[in-house]
Amino acid sequence: VAGALRALAGEYTAQGRGFELRLVAGGWRFYSRATYAAAVESFVLDGLQARLTQAALETLAVVAYRQPVSRARVSAVRGVNC
């Protein structure tokens, strides 16, 4: 498997893809290339301008602390539809 991943990393570099595969701390990760940093940054920052409603924030908090969690359990924790 490690050999196949090294081969893929080499192919991605040779083809000039927008991402690269790196060996980090014994595992493999995808990274975007530095030459595309401006495009990636604008994409990420555009997503940060969306505001979440109070209900959405509560739901995210329940999922973060109690995952995996069902829709019914989220509603019960939030105190809706009781």
- Regarding whether 70 and 37 lie in a shared domain, the answer is no
Between the CA atoms of 56, 57, 59 and 65, what dihedral angle is there, to the nearest 10 degrees?
A: 160
What are the Cα distances from residue 67, in Å, to 60, 70, 73, 80? 10, 8, 10, 19
Name the band, by pLDDT with cuts 50, 70 and 90, for residue 52.
Answer: confident
- Regarding whether 60 and 38 lie in a shared domain, the answer is no
Q: What is the mean pLDDT of residues 41-67?
A: 84
- Regarding whether 71 and 41 lie in a shared domain, the answer is no
- Regarding whether 66 and 42 lie in a shared domain, the answer is no
pLDDT in tens, 3-42: 899 999 999 989 888 888 888 888 899 898 888 888 888 8
Global confidence as pTM:
0.48
Residue 62 pLDDT > 70, yes or no?
A: yes
**In the prediction, which pLDDT does 48 show?**
66
What are the Cα distances from residue 56, in Å, to 23, 63, 70, 71, 74? 36, 11, 15, 13, 11
